[in-house]
Amino acid sequence: MFDIFLDDAPALVVVLPLLISAIIAFMPSKIWPWIISIFTLLLHLFLSLHLLKEISVSGLIIYEFGNWEPPWGISFKIDGVNIGLQLLFSIFVLVSTFYSRKIFLNEIDYRDSGKAYSLWLLAVGSLNGIILTNDIFNLFVFLEISALASISLIALGAGQNRKALLAAFNYLIIGAIGATFYVIGVGFAYAMTGTLNMNDLVIQLAQYSDGQLAIFAGMSFMLIGLMVKAAIFPVHIWLPPAYSYAPSAVSTLLAALATKTILYFFVRLLYEVFIIYPSYLSLFLDFVLYPLSLLAIFIGTVIAIYQDDIKKLLAFSSIAQIGYITLAFSLKDHSGVASGFVHIFNHALIKGGLFMAVGYFAILYKDRVTLNSLKGFGYKYPITSFALLICGLSLIGLPLTNGFISKLYLFQALYTNQMYFSIALVAVSSALAVVYFWKIVEQMWFSEVKFKSEKEDAYIYLPIWIVTISIIVFGIYSTPIIEFSNLSADYLISGYQN
Amino acid sequence: MVGGLFIIITSQNYLKKVVGLAIFQTAVFVFFVSLAKVLDGTAPILTKMANAYSNPLPHVLILTAIVVGVATSALGLALVLQIYKNYETIEEKEIESLELKSDK
């Protein structure tokens, strides 16, 4: 009987959170929405593990909704590219949901917690849809569900600071413009090919072998729309306020996973569909994505140094880190794409851990965490502070942390492509990351003020430490991440070389 | 379409921005519906009279996109309402000057 459910696992990982979110929306209770969410996400993790097992046997699952065969029906595709991301997503969402309970209770009215978890699950389900979908219009729908859910979650931060409303509003306007650009692109692609399925799109595009202006226009529209959503450098302006004024638990979820899933789809579109026009692709990668990534790395890091507000500092450092990922993806070879995926995994863990720790400080301090307010926190709250230290060292890229593995692979990829200028820039930017992180460390451990250590809440520091330990573990034993990334790159690049 | 985008960028009033967004999106919807037209085609209902049908799929897609657009506008308007309740204005410049004051 249970097998019936397992057959539909690809659909259930998306549909289950969406369904449960409707059920818990109007629960006035403090605790039940959280318990139900945790159980839903445990089931979600179980289904993801089942998918992993299936993939290791068959290598490819195409799930057709309502048994309508592609290209007519909507389909989900699970293969080597997204299974690793799916697993990371499942695990991280579970951990951050566990973390979110006490944070939500402190930051928003407890009567709203049903609605908050409803939006939370809505965001989870739709982001997972972005990972799995194989249909370009279906992606737009998931993109918008996730955007609307996260905008509402960000606006919940208005109880703390009314600027959250402005941040949410700006995100809404900019995000909606991005999504609409994407739809225009889909319209062009559909007009030329008559299909929305990604695999079929490749086949249909092949008939216009030298390319058509309408297709290039459509592709450009799609890419720009996705760049807005993924916060790639010049169109990132919605991100820092949105992340920094959202409730802490929400910043954790969004910073770790939201932009990553969209980046994943971005790279999939580039290397799976647009690969059919190599000249267009290399034009885009060399003259658009590559310079923009370098600018993002440099400018993001420099702005982060001048931030006083810690959450804003982390948000700007996210811009730089997204720059590292897109830089790796712009390299057009196996090592580049693989190192991009390595950094997607590692950065999700690092930023998640950092936002979790800072979110806890915000609750302890009962105000926004600025550099000054961190004075002596290293002695006052040693457990959380130490986790923050490790996550921060990993952000810089010290050995024994997973940030080092990312940097190592990125340098290797750049070196094989003989991009010495980029190597220098990445190294400088890592050094600058030391500057902004050192400012935090200095306030926390080396200020005049001394405190006795106070009791910390185990419900909050346990998830933080789960993330921190995974950072160390993957820094020493990095094989799983490397293997998943190589698998992803194998699938994507094999199309490129043929 | 350009008109909608122009309104979003130039207007200082948040309400007008939401309206501009709606116009921008509607323009794209019309673009999609225009794709569906087939010369001499009739509505896609099975009859013996017709020899060509318009393509119904873009219509269906746009039906979905309209729902998304409605949700976006609704959320945008709700946010404008909340901004008004908190700041007692929805003009971008006035809010900026308020924020500058509160930062000092």
With respect to residue B47, please indicate whether it lies within any of the assigned structural domains: no
Min Cα distance B26 → chain A (Å) is: 10
Q: How many CB atoms lie within 10 A of CB A327?
A: 28
Which residues in chain A have their CB less than 8 angstroms from residue B58's CB?
187, 190
Cα–Cα distance for residue pair A197/A265, rounded to 1 Å: 14
ipTM of the assembly?
0.89
Cα–Cα distance for residue pair A465/A360, rounded to 1 Å: 13
Q: Is B86 at the interface with chain A, CB within 8 A?
A: yes
With respect to residue A309, please indicate whether it lies within any of the assigned structural domains: yes
Cα–Cα distance for residue pair A432/A412, rounded to 1 Å: 21
Q: What is the pLDDT of residue A373?
A: 78
Min Cα distance B40 → chain A (Å) is: 18
Cα–Cα distance for residue pair A41/A93, rounded to 1 Å: 7
B95 and A166 within 8 Å at the Cβ level: the answer is yes
With respect to residue B49, please indicate whether it lies within any of the assigned structural domains: no
With respect to residue B82, please indicate whether it lies within any of the assigned structural domains: yes
With respect to residue B43, please indicate whether it lies within any of the assigned structural domains: no
Out of A141, A169, A187, whose CB is closest to B64? A141
- Residue numbers of the domain that contains B27: 2-38+54-103
With respect to residue A17, please indicate whether it lies within any of the assigned structural domains: no
* Angle, CA A183 vertex, CA B90 and CA B74 arms, to 5°: 30
Which residues in chain A have their CB less than 8 angstroms from residue B14's CB?
169
Positions in chain A short of pLDDT 50? 496-498
Q: What is the pLDDT of residue A498?
A: 41
With respect to residue A7, please indicate whether it lies within any of the assigned structural domains: no
Per-residue pLDDT tens digits for A454-480: 777 778 888 889 889 998 888 888 888
Q: What is the pLDDT of residue A422?
A: 86
Chain-centre distance for alpha carbon B68: 9
Q: Which residues of A touch B (CB under 8 A)?
A: 137, 140-141, 144, 148, 151-152, 155, 158, 162-163, 165-166, 168-169, 172-173, 176-177, 180, 183-184, 187, 190-191
With respect to residue B78, please indicate whether it lies within any of the assigned structural domains: yes
With respect to residue B48, please indicate whether it lies within any of the assigned structural domains: no
With respect to residue A39, please indicate whether it lies within any of the assigned structural domains: no
Q: Percent of chain B scored above 70 by pLDDT?
A: 91
Per-residue pLDDT tens digits for B41-89: 677 777 777 677 777 888 888 898 999 999 999 999 999 999 898 888 8
* Nearest partner of A440 among A297, A317, A259, judged by Cα: A317
A155 and B58 within 8 Å at the Cβ level: the answer is no
List alpha helices for A133-275, DSSP H. Answer: 136-155, 163-193, 198-205, 213-230, 239-245, 248-253, 259-268
Number of structural domains found in chain B = 1
CATH number at residue B78: 1.10.287.3510
With respect to residue B64, please indicate whether it lies within any of the assigned structural domains: yes
With respect to residue B45, please indicate whether it lies within any of the assigned structural domains: no
With respect to residue A251, please indicate whether it lies within any of the assigned structural domains: no
Number of structural domains found in chain A = 1
First-last CA distance in chain B: 40
Out of A141, A166, A172, whose CB is closest to B72? A172
Mean pLDDT of chain B: 82
- Look-up of token digits 């390595």: A342
Which residues in chain B have their CB less than 8 angstroms from residue A151's CB?
75, 79
Out of A148, A169, A180, whose CB is closest to B28? A180
Cα–Cα distance for residue pair B55/A380, rounded to 1 Å: 67
Least CA distance to B22: which residue of chain A? A176
- Residue numbers of the domain that contains A344: 286-498
Residue of B72, B92, B94, B97 for testing the chain A interface, max A β-carbons within 10 Å = B72
Query: Are the C-beta atoms of residues A232 and A322 closer than 8 Å to each other?
Result: yes
Q: What is the pLDDT of residue B50?
A: 67
The model's pTM: 0.90
Tokens of A364: 């302890």
